[in-house]
Amino acid sequence: MPVNRGNRSLPRQKIIEKPAYENLYQALQICLEQRQSPYDNYIWGCLYQYLDSIGDRDRQRRLTEAVYDTLSAHKPEQRPPGWERDIILLSGDLANCYLENQEYDKAREICQQTLTLIPQLQNIESSQKQFYLASPYHQLGYVAHQLREFQQAQSYYQQALEIKSEYGDRYSQAITLHQLGMVAQELREFQQAQSYYQQALKLYIQYGDRSSQALTYEQMGLLAQELGDLQSAKTNLLQVLAIFAEFEDRHILEIIVRILASVYQQTQDEDLIAEAAGILNVTSTELKELFGSNE
């Protein structure tokens, strides 16, 4: 699910190539015709992630809608084993598609439908139903967040976090904690925002998720800069720079360089120049010229 994420994430590597995609697409059609689970043998997951990796959001959304509509059309007596799980997972994928395309009304509608559907399912244990509620609550939080309905976003995220905490889904907790930090920052609840970011960062470090660590370091750096704590801003933003340099993501590096340039303009901290230049493998003079071009 989209988690912010500032709202950026590191580019994903393509997990399959186009010829394999065509074969998987045919396998998906067979699954749907024979009323088998599209999640069997990772067919749906590979297709969905491939379209995500190449940035084909429109085809991803259209395909997800088609699969969702096919599963939704099954009458109760026609539903194959695992249908309940599949329809919940497809609902989440479809909501993500709408979120990525900024179709917030559609995302909200599908999430609310999912919240209504889950308690009605017959072949899922009560505890599993409760666990499944976390995702649509988080996604509704994201919708409200993007629409600047911050109090509503906070409420939805808190409901998601409570469920994730109850069921020990620690990595997923980090995603919601990061979002809660962003909302708290918007509400100018700075101490609370810092606490949420620190909790999220601790979990991301525990799970070795470098890209998410970078995005949380970035938010912590921006928060510190807003509060005038320029030393903390420098420390956090240099962490971001180092991680994105590992991934050689030129676009995001340019964004971080612009933020660091603004910190340097406020501090004239030559250590910042030296450390950032070392990370980027350029001279201090070259970096100062780059900073100057971002003024």
pLDDT, tens only, 131-189: 999 999 999 999 999 999 999 999 999 999 999 999 999 999 999 999 999 999 999 99
**55 falls within a domain:** yes
**28 falls within a domain:** yes
**Cβ(11)–Cβ(253) below 8 Å:** no
The CATH number of residue 71's host domain is 1.25.40
For the segment 35-55, the average pLDDT, to the nearest whole number, is: 90
pLDDT at 41: 79
**116 falls within a domain:** yes
**257 falls within a domain:** no
pLDDT at 15: 56
Q: What is the 3-state secondary structure (H, E, C) of the chain?
A: CCCCCCCCCCCCCCCCCHHHHHHHHHHHHHHHHCCCCCCHHHHHHHHHHHHHHCCCHHHHHHHHHHHHHHHHCCCHHHCCCCHHHHHHHHHHHHHHHHHHCCCHHHHHHHHHHHHHHHHHCCCCCHHHHHHHCHHHHHHHHHHHHHCCCHHHHHHHHHHHHHHHHHCCCHHHHHHHHHHHHHHHHHCCCHHHHHHHHHHHHHHHHHCCCHHHHHHHHHHHHHHHHHCCCHHHHHHHHHHHHHHHHHHCCHHHHHHHHHHHHHHHHHHCCHHHHHHHHHHHCCCHHHHHHHHHHCC
| Residue recorded with tokens 């179709």 | 103
pLDDT at 20: 83
**268 falls within a domain:** no
**59 falls within a domain:** yes
- Supply the pTM of this predicted model: 0.89
Which of 16-30, 127-141, 261-275 has the weakest average pLDDT?
Answer: 16-30
**Segment 54-87, tens digit of pLDDT:** 999 999 999 999 999 999 998 988 888 889 999 9
For the beta carbon of residue 188, count every other beta carbon within 10 angstroms: 9
**70 falls within a domain:** yes
d(CA 252, CA 9): 9
d(CA 160, CA 44): 25
pLDDT at 272: 96
Residue 58 CB-density burial (10 A; 0-12 exposed, 13-18 middle, 19+ buried): exposed
Domain containing 21: what range? 1-144
The answer to whether residue 108 scores a pLDDT higher than 90 is yes
Q: Which residues fall within 8 angstroms of residue 116, CB to CB, at 6 or more apart?
A: none
pLDDT at 294: 62
**Segment 154-168, tens digit of pLDDT:** 999 999 999 999 999
pLDDT at 218: 96
The answer to whether residue 13 scores a pLDDT higher than 60 is no
Domain total of the chain: 1
**132 falls within a domain:** yes
7 φ, ψ (degrees, to nearest 5): -105, 70
